[in-house]
Amino acid sequence: MQNSDSVISDVIVIGAGGCGLMAALAAAKNGAQVLLLEKTEKAGGGTAFSSRGIRAAGSRCQRQAKIADNPELYAQDILRRNSNESDAALTKQLTATSGRVADFLTDAAGVEFHLGEFPFGHSAQRSHSWKEDKTITDFLFEAVEREKNIQVRFSTAVLSLSQEASGAVTGVVTEDGVLTGRKVILASGGFGASPELLSQYIPKAVDIPFPGHPGSTGDGIKMGLAAGAATENMGAFQPYPAYIGPGKRAVSPEVALSGGIMVDLAGTRFVDETKYPGGLGIKMLDLPGKQAYEIFDERIYQLHRNITGLRNLASFFDSGLLKKAQTPEELAGRLGINAAGLKQTIQDYNRAASGGKDAFGRTLAESFSAPLYGIKVAVALYHTQGGLKVNPEGQVMRLDGSIIPNLYAGGGVATGVSGKGLEGYLPGNGLLASLGLGMRAAEHAVESLKAA
């Protein structure tokens, strides 16, 4: 096959989601000539479906707000959540990069962050969000379009990697021919939309909804495997426990944090709901239909009735999805679950709220009072968490621990920092690995080019 382009790019990035856009922008800002390839017709990828916020430690925004936090503390939070199952060096590299990622997004992409409260395992206030009605990929792509060192090609699927006999990657193969690049960064997303790979690695997730990007078909993982890469934690995924289809809608996790509970068809609780999302999602996978019912009261409804986006409770109520009743028995009837069970569950909840902890060890601060609300939710596959094994610089590794020369991976293509199980996900882990590995891989690639 002939070269389709006589120009040799310094860096070829495959995929225009969060990781790919960050990699392209970071490489270009460091002086590289970048070719960004996207198989669909627009940028965004799976990152466009993520929440509008990132987690970062040691950012300028934190320092200005005098928040006591640091990358080491952030790494400890991640490793505590995943029971030390993620690679410690990679985890520490990503948390050390997280503050720079936030600052880079402000300086290069114009994101004006403000700090919000969103604990769920984080021991410091490190949730960085923004007011604009944009995704992080909107900001990044606008910055990419302004960057003269980046050429973007949409509707360009990469079929395979081009390699020398030694295994060193020299570019990519497309339908139009070979595109030569000194460094290649795989950033084409996970495999949540690939029945083939799900059947092979996560059979439990084959029949649950995947509200992510349809382009997440594991292309980069397949290319890496063909090039001799090792994989890691391929059975790990985020089972999100509050999905409401269609429309990629979900109940905000803040409802559970504020005191909401989950019950099954018998009207009984089955888990500490603050084990969100992994611990709760795992339990739901074993329920009939992989569904549960989220229950809360008027206080919680008022707290979250008008939050922004597709998660505000008022929209669920207006559409008839959220049911309201004065008694547990009435609510159970409207939801189609056991009335006696729900009545007993709420009595037990209120009793525990007056005494401290419940049977699951959860601290309940305030009892339920009428009216009560309930909504049926399902567990969904939000994203896969395993992928190609990479070192802290994002370089792709072989089974023997050696590096595949010139090849990098990040985002859903690479193994993340949530470990090998389903409970290791700490909110923000996905974007941490996506944006952090995108930045670090690009920086290392350009550094090695300059040193050559």
Tell me the whole-structure pTM to 2 decimals. 0.90
> Residue-wise pLDDT tens for the chain (452 aa)?
345 555 799 999 999 999 999 999 999 999 999 999 999 999 998 887 777 889 999 999 999 999 999 999 999 999 999 999 999 999 999 999 999 999 999 999 999 999 987 667 899 999 999 999 899 999 999 999 999 999 999 999 999 999 999 999 999 999 999 999 999 999 999 999 999 999 999 998 998 999 889 999 999 999 999 999 999 999 999 898 999 977 778 898 889 888 999 999 999 999 999 888 888 999 999 999 999 999 999 999 999 887 655 567 998 999 999 999 999 999 999 999 999 999 999 999 999 987 778 989 998 878 999 999 999 999 999 889 999 999 999 999 999 999 999 999 999 999 999 999 888 998 899 999 999 999 999 999 999 999 98
Residue 18 token pair: 């969060």
